Structure 1
Amino acid sequence: MRHLIKIFAVILAIGFALPAAGQDAKPFSDAKEINLLTLLPTPPANDSAQMKAELAEILTLQVTRTPEMSARAVADAEENVWRFADVIDNPKFTKENLPKFSAFFDRIVETEGAVVDPAKDVWKRPRPHLYSDLVKPIVPLSKSGAYPSGHTTVGTLMGIVLANMVPEKKAPIMARAWEYGHNRLVGGIHYASDIEAGRIAGTVIAQTITTHDDYKSEYEAAKAELRTALSL
């Protein structure tokens, strides 16, 4: 009986020690290597004409967006590569079928936060709903700085990496990445210049991390797994 209790205790200890999926993902880079404060222009001032024009664009979309546009914007609030499933268009494109690919893109997502969040904290651009009571977002709210858009950054980054893996679908993948960023504007949670800066940031990150040895090895393994699953 004591022997069984000891075994059970060991099993419990191992179980509690295991990290949840995705939580142990480490970024491929960070703000020390990619300093967006020196790469991006400063966001528009709160009292500037550009800020007012960007607010007007959000308010226009707020009354013209269709139910379909709204639904896609809400769905795209998720930050993961599986949002590209509609353009990959293959039932094998799932987390369960692609463990190496999934773990690799967990690191891609973590990289965005490691690079973008420090810049957001410095610029502290108010989100549209915090700047104007007229803005009614339809996606989850956030009090972090609006500039640059993290969702757009990671969408662009994921799109570039995925398009490199599946060049046969490069055009639709990059169009989907563009829509992913634009949906932050549709959702009423970002300004146009946040989206533009996010696309720049995502492109810079994608180019930078390709020089890292750990990225190269994990990319090749993830790419091979994906293309095999998709029969490419």
Structure 2
Amino acid sequence: MRRPIPWLFLLLFLLASPLSLPAAESVPAPGQPIDFTRLLPPPPAPGSVADREDKAVVRAWQQRRTPEMEALAQADAARTAQPFLPALGRDLAPEKLPLTMAFFETLRKDADAMLGEAKAHWNRPRPPQADPDIRPSLRLPHNASYPSGHSTYATAAAVMLAGMVPERATEIFDRAEAYRLSRIIGGVHYPSDIVAGRIAGTVIAATLLENAAFVEGMCAAGAELRQNLGLAPRPCPGPGIAAKPAN
């Protein structure tokens, strides 16, 4: 039986984090490029108190991670819909969900394109590159650490998936939380990277849901998912309202 992950440890850090949500007036209008270098705060400065706290959390998880946690982190390294499918409550085969898998691949590419400039701008070294005491259990990505692309993807994907299957929204968002934490457990991201990714993923999801073609693809994927789950079809909403929960 898998040990429960002590979420309180991460939650306490996140509550104390200096990162904050962007002001409402900073959110770009639909269809406009997202300048995350202005929307997000910069990562903690090297050697600052926040930077030392970031490293301490990663080292602490390194000491407490179990083989089960490492195995989950390895499985979560893939940025596809597959890690989220078990949250839907039924064993679904990815090969039976071509529209769904293609939709979330499009989402990944869109999120990467929107986030790439910010990653290059801050160019934050990964935890093992900044602290020799941190030994990752995951392959070290070649790009920068802040904001986390996995956290960004998990957040945006959870918003989309909860819009498709609102009956499982709680389980979907819980799974996204575990997916984000896997990056800290694996030693390849700091907590502040994850917090910034949550903000970025939320903004990206809101922006994409204003795009009619994107919403059309989401509706097609949602219809495929619901059919495979044995759920009743849902009306396809227009842009801007696709993520609203059903009454």
Q: TM-score, normalised by structure 1?
A: 0.83
Contact in 2 for aligned 1:69/1:186 (Cα 8 Å): yes
Unaligned 5+ runs, structure 1: 1-30
Equivalent residue number for residue 6 of structure 1: none
**Secondary structure of 2:224's aligned partner:** helix
Residue 51 in structure 1 maps to residue 51 in structure 2? yes
Equivalent residue number for residue 69 of structure 2: 69
Equivalent residue number for residue 122 of structure 1: 121
Deviation at 1:75, TM superposition (A): 1.2
Matches of 1:94 and 1:104 in 2, distance apart? 16
Matches of 1:178 and 1:35 in 2, distance apart? 25
Contact in 2 for aligned 1:127/1:143 (Cα 8 Å): no
Deviation at 1:143, TM superposition (A): 3.1
Matches of 2:79 and 2:137 in 1, distance apart? 16
Equivalent residue number for residue 86 of structure 2: 86
**Secondary structure of 2:142's aligned partner:** coil
Equivalent residue number for residue 163 of structure 2: 164
**Secondary structure of 2:94's aligned partner:** coil
Equivalent residue number for residue 40 of structure 1: 40
Contact in 2 for aligned 1:166/1:227 (Cα 8 Å): yes
Equivalent residue number for residue 139 of structure 1: 138
Contact in 2 for aligned 1:76/1:180 (Cα 8 Å): yes
Unaligned 5+ runs, structure 2: 1-30, 232-247
Contact in 1 for aligned 2:80/2:101 (Cα 8 Å): no
Deviation at 1:70, TM superposition (A): 1.4
**Secondary structure of 1:45's aligned partner:** coil
Deviation at 1:89, TM superposition (A): 3.2
- The residue correspondences of 1:145-224 to structure 2 (distance < 5 A) are 145-224=144-223
Specify which structure has the higher proportion of helix.
1
Matches of 1:221 and 1:142 in 2, distance apart? 32
Moved over 6 A (4+): none
Matches of 1:102 and 1:181 in 2, distance apart? 20
Contact in 2 for aligned 1:150/1:198 (Cα 8 Å): yes
- The residue correspondences of 1:11-26 to structure 2 (distance < 5 A) are none
Return the letter of the residue paired with 1:33. P
Matches of 2:93 and 2:61 in 1, distance apart? 33
Equivalent residue number for residue 230 of structure 2: 231
Which has the greater radius of gyration?
1
1:106-125 CA-to-partner distances (Å, cap 9, x unmatched) read: 10111121011211111011
Matches of 2:221 and 2:195 in 1, distance apart? 29
Matches of 2:121 and 2:73 in 1, distance apart? 27
**Secondary structure of 2:96's aligned partner:** coil
1:170-227 CA-to-partner distances (Å, cap 9, x unmatched) read: 0010000011111101110000100000001111111110110111211111111111
Matches of 2:186 and 2:32 in 1, distance apart? 31
Aligned CA RMSD, in angstroms, stands at 1.4
Matches of 1:149 and 1:172 in 2, distance apart? 22
Return the letter of the residue paired with 1:200. I
Matches of 1:59 and 1:225 in 2, distance apart? 42
Contact in 2 for aligned 1:152/1:195 (Cα 8 Å): yes
Matches of 2:98 and 2:123 in 1, distance apart? 36
1:74-100 CA-to-partner distances (Å, cap 9, x unmatched) read: 111111111012212323x23321122
**Secondary structure of 2:95's aligned partner:** coil
Return the letter of the residue paired with 2:210. T
Deviation at 1:32, TM superposition (A): 6.4
Q: TM-score, normalised by structure 2?
A: 0.78
Equivalent residue number for residue 10 of structure 1: none
Matches of 2:223 and 2:46 in 1, distance apart? 47
Contact in 1 for aligned 2:152/2:200 (Cα 8 Å): yes
Contact in 1 for aligned 2:149/2:197 (Cα 8 Å): yes
